[in-house]
Each structure stands twice: as structure tokens, then as C-alpha cells.
Chain A
Amino acid sequence: MNLSVFIPLAVVMALTTWLVRALPFTLFRRKITNARVKAFFDLIPYTVLSAMTFPAILYATGSLPTACAGLAVALILSFCERSLLTVAIGACLATLAATGVMMFIQRG
């Protein structure tokens, strides 16, 4: 890509992304004492991750059955409280296995 297009856009993009993170993190220092506000911020991580995962995971592979296999294995493993890496790898392997099965069925 032409540098005269790329450089200004890349700089603005990087600065904006950094400021969106750095300004609140640097300026907002005091501990929240209000119980409701505190509860809100305790819940936010889980609601953000939930919204990002669902329904996006269903379309991550381009095929609903293989994505569902990955989702199911991730749910089971994490319900058994396995580690982050175990769940991630398990989900990938399940998706791969399901892809193999799908290929086999489609050929047959």
C-alpha cells in the first residue's frame, strides 16, 4: 500500500487505540466504594466475553456443525474447570476432528 496513504492512517489508528485504553487506565485511579457501581465493574468482564463469544463462535469456522463441536467441547472442558490452554486446544482439536468427519461424509 502507498506509504502516503498508509502512514497517516496507521499513526491515527495506533494513537486512538492507545488513548482509548491509556486515558481511563491512567486517570481513573480511585477505588470505587459504591456497592452497585463496584458490582457492575465486577460483572463487566464476564458479560463482555460472553457477548464476544456468542454467536460469533458459531461462524468462526465457516461451517455450523464443526463450530458446534468446538463449542461443545469448550463448554464441557471449562465446566470441568480445565485450564485456559487445555480448553483452547481441546476446542481446536474437536473442530479439526469434526471437519474430518464432515469431509468424510461429504465424500461418501
Chain B
Amino acid sequence: MAETENDNLKNFDPAASNGGTFHEGLRDGLAIGLGYLSVSFSFGILAVASGLSWWQAGLVSLTNITSAGQVAGVGIMASSGGLIEMMISQIVINLRYSLMAISLSQKTDKSMTSLKRALLAYGLTDEIFGVAASKEHEVGSKYFFGLTVLPVIGWVLGTLLGAILGGIFPDFLTNALAVGIYGMFISIVIPKAKHNRVIMICALISCGISCLFFYVPWLKEHVSSGFAIIIAAVVAALVGVFCFPHGEEAKEAKA
């Protein structure tokens, strides 16, 4: 009798406590999907204004799932830019995903095989990373897949809606929706920063450096927004690592 109970527990446990379930991922992805719906709506409007047709705008969103990179990419398409220019711009703007991929690979469980990693990496965005990285449990392939489903649908659907009926929506509505995505970022950072001094200080430093790139004219002209984010994030994290002896502090916040 005791053994059966034990077996039941064993059968029940791995999915729930190891890498998370598909269902849990789906649920966590809902907020991101809704946020994307509004942000990609603006992208759809922008893409059509740049000369893309509605299905071309949708295809760009479906194959990239990234805001800053797509805005830059559509700009290059509009000016019939070169392939090398496209490649370099996407590498620079999206380089932060490489950092996130390495960071996230520290949290993945054994269900993440090479093939699954290569396929699931497609859906690695800032927000998906933020949610996955802040989970208390490890990140399994089922959880991560679930987490990406609704955001991808939201991102593509929003783009199509924006491309097709963007002109109909009043500006004040789309503007208000645009704040939602940042609200989401804030809701990931603040609760952690509240309980962890190092995260709080590093987040503030990162905001400060980001402001420098935005408000100092020379920096704004010469450094792209994608690159500014990389520099701000890396410098702030390095300050956290080297100025605070308790390197483990950041990790403890997750426990």
C-alpha cells in the first residue's frame, strides 16, 4: 500500500516540480500573448506604411518574433537594403537573445534535447525569457513550448490585425495598449528587486545607462537601441557581480 502511494507520488512529481507542464506554460504565456497582440498591432501598421502587404507583414512577424529587430528589418526592406546589412543589423539588435539563451540554458532540465533546443529557440523573446528565468523550477521543453504558443499567436494575429485594420483604430487606444508591454516588464523586475538589494541596484544602474544612451545626443546618434540595451544590461550586471561580494545573492532571490 505504502509503495503504491509512493509510486503515485513519483508519477505525479516529475512533471509538476521539474520542468513545469505544458498547461502551466500556456497559462504563463497568456499575459505575454495579450501584450503582444497590442504591440504587434502597431508593428502591422508600421509595416504596411513601409510598403509591405498584409501577408508580408504577418510573415515577417511569424518568422522573427521580435519587436526591435522587425522594425529595423522592415526599414531595410523599405529602402531595398542589402542582405549583409540585414544580417548585421539583426545580429546586433538581437544579440541580447544570445545572452538570454546562455542564461536560460542554465535553468533547463534534461527534457531539452539538442533538437528541441534548436526548435524552441525560435520563440525566445525578452518577455518569454523573463518569465521562464523568473520561474522557481527548472525549465522543461513542454513548459517552454506551452509558454511560447500564445505569444506567437498573439504576435502574428496582432500584426495581421494592425496591417489590415490599423487605420480604423483611434490613436489613443493603440497608444494606451502600447504601455501594456512595459507594464509586463515592470511586473517581472519589481517583485524580485523588492526582495533583493543587488537586483534593485543593478536594475536602477541599467535604467540609468539606458537613459544616457537615450538623452546624450552623440550616443543616441551613434548607438542603435538594440546595442544600447546590451551595453546597459551587461555593464549593470557586471557592476552587480564585482561590487557585491555575495554573488549568490541574486540566485537566492529565486528560492
Interface of A, secondary structure class, is: helix
Give Cα A99–Cα B170 distance, bound, in whole angstroms.
12
- A48 vs chain B, min Cβ distance (A): 4
Taking residues whose C-beta sits less than 8 angstroms from the other chain, chain A's interface range is 35 or more
Inter-chain contact A6/B126, CB cutoff 8 Å? no
- Give the size of the chain B interface in residues (CB under 8 angstroms): 108
Known: A90-B183, A91-B182. 12 other contacts (CB 8 A): A13-B64, A16-B90, A38-B251, A43-B236, A46-B202, A53-B182, A55-B210, A66-B175, A75-B190, A83-B187, A84-B184, A88-B181
A83, A86, A87 pick with most chain B CB within 10 angstroms: A87
Number of A-B contacts (CB under 8 A): 311
Task: Decide yes or no: A45 and B130 within 8 Å by CB, A17-B94, A21-B122 being known contacts.
Answer: yes
Give Cα A63–Cα B182 distance, bound, in whole angstroms.
15
Could you write out 10 A-B pairs with CB less than 8 Å apart? A9-B76, A13-B69, A24-B105, A25-B104, A26-B117, A26-B121, A39-B241, A43-B198, A91-B186, A92-B179
**Which 6 residue pairs across A and B have the least CB separation, nearest first?**
A91-B183, A87-B187, A14-B63, A39-B247, A51-B232, A25-B101
- A39 vs chain B, min Cβ distance (A): 4
Task: Decide yes or no: A39 and B250 within 8 Å by CB, A1-B77, A50-B203, A61-B178 being known contacts.
Answer: yes
Give Cα A81–Cα B188 distance, bound, in whole angstroms.
9
A62 within 8 A of B: yes
Interface residues of B (CB under 8 A from A): 28, 30-32, 34-35, 38, 51-53, 56, 59-60, 63-66, 69, 73, 76-78, 80-81, 83, 86-87, 90-91, 94-106, 114, 117-118, 120-122, 124, 126, 129-131, 133-134, 171-173, 175-194, 198-199, 202-207, 209-211, 214-215, 228-229, 232-234, 236-238, 240-242, 247-251, 254
